Amino acid sequence: MKIFVIFALLNDDGFILTTFKVVDMVLELITRLEIDRTSSVSEENSINVNVREERDCDNVPLRTGLRVWSASFIFGENVLLDEIENKKVLELGAGTGVNGLICSKLNASSVVCSDVDIKSVNLCVTNAMLNKEFDVVSRIIDWGDRNTYFEKRNAFPVIVAVDVVYLEEHAKELANCVEYHLCKENGTFLCVCGVRKREYFETFLLELAKRGMEVYFDEVGLLPKSNREQVEEIRSNHKHDEELLEDGKGYRMIRARFKKIGVKGESNEEEVVEEEEALAGFLDDLDIDDNVGGMKKQRAYDVLTSSSDDEMGADRNGTEDVPFLCATVESSSKSLLRNGFCVFRDEHFTQTQAEVLEKVHSHCESYLNDLLERCENHHGIKYDTDIFRFKEICSRAMNGKRYDFQATKILPVDDEAKNLPESGKAFAECLQTLANIIERKCERIFETVTGEEKRKKITIVNRGCVTSLPKAPEQHFHADGRKEGMYNCFVALRDVPKIQGPTEFIFGSHKFDHDAPHETTKARKKREKAKRVAPELRKGDILLYDYRILHRGGENKRCHDRRAISYFLFDTNGDIGDTWNFEDASVWDD
């Protein structure tokens, strides 16, 4: 006869986090995981998953795969919606299946959870039913036994593995399994790996590189940000997990995919050697100091949104690429000069200016509504389909649903501005407040870019907002102008995820010859081979780009939400101004 006792674990607010029972000295739990998604630039701010676990009563699980570990929080917090949505996903070493369930809740088209342990396979099925995720299935896959692999090779666009490299033999066997199942074209391998032993971590990355894969991982160790009570409970119940979080080693989110090569087939021996040497050199800098308990800062992973064949790493001339996601004046200046753009992310700025950003967004929405109403009712313009230009607002493409409206030329209250609504005055005032802050914030970046010998007065010559309506189509690539020394500054008033069409850039295109009478073959090939990337933005991110760089706004695939971004045009050479977009006639003229 089995004897069992039922318990419940509550948080400070009295909500149930975990219910569990003891059956024959085995804890059977159903835990509600609350995963914070605010750092992933996602549509959802959180994901909730109910997971059944099994543990024994000695603080060490019978099987490590039958319970949830901190790495699953890392995965859920950092995986991007665009990496999972509408894709077939295979999870290796699934355990409870929690990571596969996270993928299912991020709209994966289907999920296969796999494990070598039949109890884990059965538990994955149980948890899929528990969460009513009926597109999640489970099966046995033994990384070391190809007889357990899927019959069809390279069939999965996404493979996920979370906290599974515990032994040296895991590195090679897991790499073999990934190589067999991952799509050769645009397939992505996502792995959260705890750096418990440096040699296992390095070996695993090198095994992936040997198989012709490009490998990237985060610059610093990641720690969970989600529900603290649940993370603390996990840490207290497993010594190794607690040590990993406390000694500063943390976790790494690995992203890898097959290199695109000119000739169909496997990478040749010379390419493999070069890849190993490059990765080995990179790993030499990854040094864990047992005394300090810290991990040296590494090159940030470049999000895999590039649409060209060239990715982060070394370019064709052997020159190291410059990361565009920056946290310092120096790195921002370097990226702006080399890439033609940078994303300057400062958490302190975002936190201290949250009220200003919110106010700008609110007045931006109100003023745009009044502008579009004026265009339609007074001027007879079909604003969602027509091309039109006024002093205050313009739409540059047929059916564009994208508007550039400025605050610079909103006049003081006089006879010329008698029709200006209160929303316009409020818009101009709050944007001026933000402009003063941004000018001080970016001044040192532009001073570094222009240099002492070329330094002149750096001024904001235009300010406004760019808003795309829901279902606004993708733009063509274009430059805002041809004058050297002018820079646009976008400030994200809300998160701009992939689904809302963030601005896409062609790396280094600010150095192209835009004035050439015709494009040479060499110039055309250079343009076609240049990398492209559309950085997702967080609220408060400052996106700086050279006025001459080729860029385009992406399609806003949202059905309801506008995508609004404030902008400030900087001139470092003198008062050039914006002559391309706006006319002299006012929308408020009678």
- pLDDT-derived band of residue 253, with 50, 70 and 90 as boundaries? confident
- Which whole number is the average pLDDT over 436-445? 92
Task: Give the burial class of 400: count Cβ atoms within 10 A of its Cβ; 0-12 exposed, 13-18 middle, 19 or more buried.
Answer: buried
Residue 549's contacts (CB-CB under 8 Å, 6 or more residues apart) are: 340, 341, 479, 505, 506, 509, 510
Residue 400's contacts (CB-CB under 8 Å, 6 or more residues apart) are: 387, 472, 473, 475
- pLDDT-derived band of residue 297, with 50, 70 and 90 as boundaries? very low
Structure tokens at 251: 């976790």
Sign of CA dihedral 56, 61, 63, 68: positive
- Which whole number is the average pLDDT over 335-342? 94
Structure tokens at 28: 């059977």
> In the beta sheet, which residues pair with residue 7?
20
Structure tokens at 90: 């295979």
What number of other Cβ atoms are within 10 A of residue 476's Cβ?
A: 8
Structure tokens at 561: 């939400």
- Which whole number is the average pLDDT over 303-320? 34
Is residue 313 predicted with pLDDT exceeding 50?
Answer: no
Q: How high is the pLDDT of residue 323?
A: 85
- pLDDT-derived band of residue 26, with 50, 70 and 90 as boundaries? low
Is residue 352 predicted with pLDDT exceeding 90?
Answer: yes
Structure tokens at 308: 């060209």
- Residues 93-149 have pLDDT tens digits of 999 999 999 999 999 999 999 999 998 999 999 999 999 998 899 999 999 999 999
CB-based contacts of 457-461 (< 8 A; 24+ apart in sequence)? 457/574, 458/570, 458/571, 458/572, 459/570, 459/571, 459/575, 460/435, 460/568, 460/569, 460/570, 460/571, 461/408, 461/569, 461/570, 461/571, 461/575, 461/576, 461/577, 461/578
Q: At what angle do helices 422-450 and 354-377 cross, to 10 degrees?
A: 120
Judged by average pLDDT, the poorest of 8-12, 175-179, 274-278 is 8-12
449-458 burial, b at 16+ Cβ within 10 Å, e below that, comes to: bbeeeeeeeb
Nearest to 504, CA basis, from 479, 534, 475, 480: 534
Q: How high is the pLDDT of residue 320?
A: 43
CA torsion 296-545-508-282 (nearest 10°) is 10
What is the percent of the chain where pLDDT is above 70? 71
- pLDDT-derived band of residue 528, with 50, 70 and 90 as boundaries? confident
Is residue 556 predicted with pLDDT exceeding 80?
Answer: yes
Judged by average pLDDT, the poorest of 5-9, 341-345, 461-465, 583-587 is 5-9
Judged by average pLDDT, the poorest of 186-200, 499-513, 559-573 is 186-200
Query: What distance in Å separates the CA atoms of residue 578 and residue 365, rounded to the nearest whole number?
Result: 23
Query: What distance in Å separates the CA atoms of residue 578 and residue 423, rounded to the nearest whole number?
Result: 24
Q: How high is the pLDDT of residue 194?
A: 79
Please name each of the domains of the chain with its CATH number: 4-301 (3.40.50.150), 342-571 (2.60.120.620)
> Is residue 296 helix, strand or coil?
coil
Residue 133's contacts (CB-CB under 8 Å, 6 or more residues apart) are: 101, 104, 105, 111
- pLDDT-derived band of residue 265, with 50, 70 and 90 as boundaries? very low
Q: How high is the pLDDT of residue 343?
A: 96
What is the percent of the chain where pLDDT is above 90? 41
Across the chain, what does the average pLDDT equal? Answer: 78
CA torsion 78-82-86-88 (nearest 10°) is -50
> Is residue 104 helix, strand or coil?
helix
Residue type, 468: S
Judged by average pLDDT, the poorest of 285-299, 431-445, 504-518 is 285-299
Residue in the structure block whose two tokens are 């733009």:
475
